[in-house]
């Protein structure tokens, strides 16, 4: 079965090859203060002991790879992560636990274990603690889920474009949800301002001036899925990684983990963003972080970000080979392709933000120019991180269709 031509977009991908990419295989020592294999071990050891934990699947899409004209496509399916259907379940909830441990230690002088939090040994302290963040949907679900598990209060800020379904999913975990009229970056600023006024703790997946430490714990939570992936890959190493952009937190965690682990053998690292929310690509072009203003309109709600995470940029600005954007029209088409499966490949539930990397790969393989630019050929082995499932079931059904 040949891939439908409709999955390609007219013309070439918008691609910027990073002139500041560091080809040296050694992971820079100065970046170890942000993320490292050593630091990730504690998060991995902790989260893999949580109730309900199981490793999510890494599918080898044999027939899709054949029809795309590459050797292998590995798809890490985060639609099965806990019951939140998103990789975000790992980061936000882990950072909530770390903050509650710190708060209890501040009051009692002794840091509790996470099991102590599960066992509700410090209910009086924890129940008076208020955790807050801004979200496009999935991070807020993770934070609110963590707050519910451990028994603290939760206030989540969403922006005007977050769907009612995603709002309801957050509220289902007992969080108070505040919707603002601005975009995602405006909601981040509002959450931060209100937290300072009311004494709340912000657990954000983006970092900015004056707020650098907690996002490190969020990113460390994500390394659980990377540890799983490496074990599932066995002795194989991908030649390419296509990874979603957003504020850059996930991309930076993946880049750092694979860079330190595989050194000179690390894959070509390609960051993918929506055309209307490409703050990472524009920052790479400018040589420093650029803020995109406006409505950041995109189907990929989890990637509708206009401002780069400061910590993530330190890694991505030198660890990314290419920054590319993906056409909006390819998103629902790729979702349907995964839902249907290709000639015996598994049917996969992939949400809007999950398919950015795969849509970009397929688009690139329809173009000889883009394939050459990204070093893609029949020997390429591609790692795709499917970040979410149907986190908004109504939206998923609308985009995939009844025959998806």
Tracing tokens 């006024």 back to the chain, one arrives at: 197
- Whether 77 sits among the annotated catalytic residues: the reply is no
Average pLDDT, the chain: 94
> 309-328: per-residue pLDDT in tens?
999 999 999 999 999 999 99
Whole-angstrom distance, CA of residue 39 vs CA of residue 92: 17
Look at residue 351 and give its three-state secondary structure: coil
pLDDT digits (tens, 9 = 90+) for 135-144: 988 999 999 9
CA atoms of 195 and 204, how far apart (whole Å)? 12
Core vs surface per residue 265-293: b (16+ CB within 10 A) or e: ebbbbbbbbbebbbbbbbbbeeeebbebe
pLDDT at 4 exceeding the cut of 90: no
Residue with tokens 């963003």: 273
Q: What pLDDT, on a 0 to 100 scale, did the predictor assign at position 12? A: 57
CB neighbours of 402 closer than 8 A, spacing ≥ 6?
Answer: none
The pLDDT of residue 155: 98
Residue 188 has a pLDDT of 92
Write down the pLDDT at residue 404.
Answer: 40
pLDDT tens-place string over residues 174-205? 999 999 999 999 999 999 999 999 999 999 99
**C-alpha distances in Å from residue 386, one per residue of 66, 136, 219, 229, 347:** 19, 17, 17, 12, 13
Q: Which domains does the chain have, with CATH numbers?
A: 5-86+216-400 (3.40.50.1100), 88-214 (3.40.50.1100)
- Residue 10: what pLDDT? 46
Q: What is the average per-residue pLDDT within 265-274?
A: 97
Q: pLDDT digit string (tens) for 21-43?
A: 999 999 999 999 999 999 999 99
Question: In the 8-state DSSP scheme, what is residue 16?
Answer: E
Q: Which residue has the tokens 């979410």?
A: 388
Supply the pLDDT for residue 11. 47
Q: Is 247 exposed, middle or buried (0-12, 13-18, 19+ CB in 10 A)?
A: buried
- Average the pLDDT over 275-279 and give the result: 95
Q: Say which of 66, 76, 85, 88 is annotated catalytic.
A: 88
Q: HSE on the CB side for 275, CA within 13 Å?
A: 12
- Rg of the chain's alpha carbons, rounded to an integer? 20
pLDDT (average), residues 202-224: 95
Catalytic option among 136, 185, 217, 345: 136
Backbone dihedral region for residue 72 (phi beyond 0: left; psi -120 to 50: alpha; all else: beta): beta
Q: pLDDT class for 16, splitting at 50, 70, 90?
A: very high
Q: Long-range contacts for 110-119 (Cβ within 8 Å, ≥24 apart)? A: 114/46, 117/149, 117/150, 117/151, 118/51, 118/149, 118/150
pLDDT of 6? 43
88 is catalytic: yes
Tokens of residue 292, six digits:
């995109």
Per-residue confidence band for 330, with pLDDT thresholds at 50, 70 and 90: very high
Q: Quote the pLDDT of residue 294.
A: 80
What's the confidence (pLDDT) of residue 403?
A: 45
**pTM as predicted:** 0.94
* 86-96 per-position pLDDT tens digit: 999 999 999 99
State yes or no: pLDDT of 261 exceeds 50. yes
| Average pLDDT over every residue of 377-387 | 98
Q: Given pLDDT bands bounded at 50, 70 and 90, which one contains residue 13?
A: confident
Residue 30 CA from chain centroid, whole number: 23
């Amino acid at each position: 079965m040949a891939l439908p031509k409709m999955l390609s977009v007219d013309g070439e991908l918008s691609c910027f090859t990073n002139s500041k990419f560091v080809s040296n295989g050694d992971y820079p020592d100065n970046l170890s203060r942000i993320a490292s294999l050593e630091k990730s071990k504690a998060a991995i050891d902790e989260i893999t002991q949580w109730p309900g934990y199981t490793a999510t699947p890494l599918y080898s899409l044999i027939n899709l790879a054949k029809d795309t004209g590459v050797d292998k496509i590995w798809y890490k399916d985060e639609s099965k992560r806990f019951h939140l259907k998103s990789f975000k379940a790992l980061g936000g909830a882990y950072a909530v636990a770390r903050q509650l441990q710190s708060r209890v230690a501040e009051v009692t002088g002794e840091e509790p274990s996470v099991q102590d939090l599960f066992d509700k040994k410090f209910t009086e302290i924890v129940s008076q603690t208020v955790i807050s963040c801004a979200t496009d949907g999935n991070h807020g679900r993770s934070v609110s889920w963590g707050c519910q598990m451990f028994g603290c209060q939760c206030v989540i800020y969403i922006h005007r474009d977050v769907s009612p379904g995603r709002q309801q999913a957050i509220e289902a975990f007992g969080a108070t949800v505040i919707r603002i009229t601005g975009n995602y970056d405006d909601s981040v600023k509002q959450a931060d301002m209100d937290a300072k006024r009311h004494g709340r703790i912000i657990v954000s997946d983006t970092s900015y001036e004056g707020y650098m430490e907690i996002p490190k714990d969020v990113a460390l939570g994500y390394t659980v899925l990377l540890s799983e992936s490496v074990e599932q890959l066995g002795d194989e190493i991908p030649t390419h990684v296509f990874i979603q952009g957003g504020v850059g937190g996930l991309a930076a965690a993946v880049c750092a983990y694979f860079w330190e682990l595989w050194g000179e053998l690390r894959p070509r690292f390609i960051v993918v963003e929506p055309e209307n929310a490409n703050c990472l690509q524009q920052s790479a072009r400018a040589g420093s972080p650029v803020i995109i203003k406006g409505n950041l309109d995109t189907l990929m709600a989890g990637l509708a970000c206009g401002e780069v995470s400061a910590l993530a940029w330190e890694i991505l600005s030198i660890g990314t080979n290419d920054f590319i954007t993906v056409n909006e029209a390819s998103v629902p088409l790729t979702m349907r392709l995964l839902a249907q499966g290709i000639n015996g490949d598994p049917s996969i539930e992939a949400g809007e933000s999950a398919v950015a990397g795969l849509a970009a790969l397929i688009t690139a393989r329809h173009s000889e120019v883009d394939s050459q630019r990204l070093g893609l050929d029949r020997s390429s082995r591609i790692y795709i991180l499917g970040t979410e499932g149907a986190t908004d079931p109504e939206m998923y059904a609308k985009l995939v269709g009844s025959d998806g």
